[in-house]
Amino acid sequence: MAVLTPRIGFIGLGAMGLPMASNLQRKGFNLTVHDVVQAPMEKMALLGARPVSTVAECVRGAEIVVTMLPATTHVESVVFGDAGILANIEKGAVLMDMSTIDARATDRLAKACAERGIGFTDCPVGRLALHAQKGESLFMVGADDAVYARIEPLLKAMGTTIYRCGPPGMGSRMKLINNFMLLSTAQIVAESLTLGTKLGLSIETMREVTAGTTAHNGQFHVLMVNKVLKGDIEPGFTIDLAFKDLTLAMNAAAEQRVGLPLGSAAHAVYGAARATRYASKDYSALLDLACDLAGISAPRLARP
């Protein structure tokens, strides 16, 4: 006997949301989708999803509503607005927020859902857009057992790795730490490769040697190798959004009276980068920016 899949409302079809929703649709889920941009909705329609023009239409009748939006303000507007999710979602449904937002906002979402008899989970996404396209994302999940049992099939359809981080709110907090670490590392890598290039080292040599030492890291050996070092700085994950995520970490540190001196320096670099032509480019373009400032051509891997 065929297993019925839940009806899914998916809101937010950006660089990460579109491949995630596409994987759900291809793997047999019944999706209604909404985005403020028409083009990704048309792509989803070609896969068999039902595009709709409003949040309310996307939510009505859905058993699980997924949000994958850029920032806290977008999520709160979509959830709390007069024609938003909480005004239209069915009692007993689940709100599954996969955005990277302020953890205090996640707490507000969880509280509002609980008051209305709605399940809630925060499960932000790890890894890159290229992983999302291949269905290889990683998820950091904050949820109770009952809600997790309902969303687990969706996570397995979109990714390969799931970490349960605790109750609602803990997924967002883990994502904050994860992105603080990787974004700070990306700037260190950009500076290292710039210095190495200035010193006359080839990018191939730097790649090979650091892959064999404890300097090995995903920002050089996965991100930059697959993006900027191929000459591709189209997002991905923009410097603007990276600055937003670092700001979340810096704000949390200030609230907890935790000093993050290296993080503060990285945050300042991302802030300055937003005033350049790279603001809307992939954050791997930090390498190109660092090379511009050093007055040298950015290194590129030789094409095979």
As annotated, the active-site residues are: 175
CA-to-CA dists, residue 72 to 39, 100, 153, 168, 212, angstroms: 24, 8, 26, 16, 39
Q: Which two tokens stand for residue 85?
A: 């999710």
Four-point Cα dihedral 166, 169, 170, 175, nearest 10: 150
Contact by Cβ (8 Å): 7, 61:
yes
Q: How many angstroms separate the CA atoms of 77 and 244, rounded?
A: 17
User: What percent of the chain is helix, strand and coil (3-state, nearest 5)?
Assistant: 55, 15, 35
Contact by Cβ (8 Å): 92, 118:
yes
Give the 3-state secondary structure of residue 166.
Answer: strand
**What letter represents residue 254's amino acid?**
A
Q: Which two tokens stand for residue 157?
A: 């359809």
Q: Tokens 């095979």 appear where?
A: 304
Name 9's bridge partners. 32, 65
Specify the DSSP element, H or E, that contains 208.
helix 203-211
Q: How many angstroms separate the CA atoms of 93 and 223, rounded?
A: 36
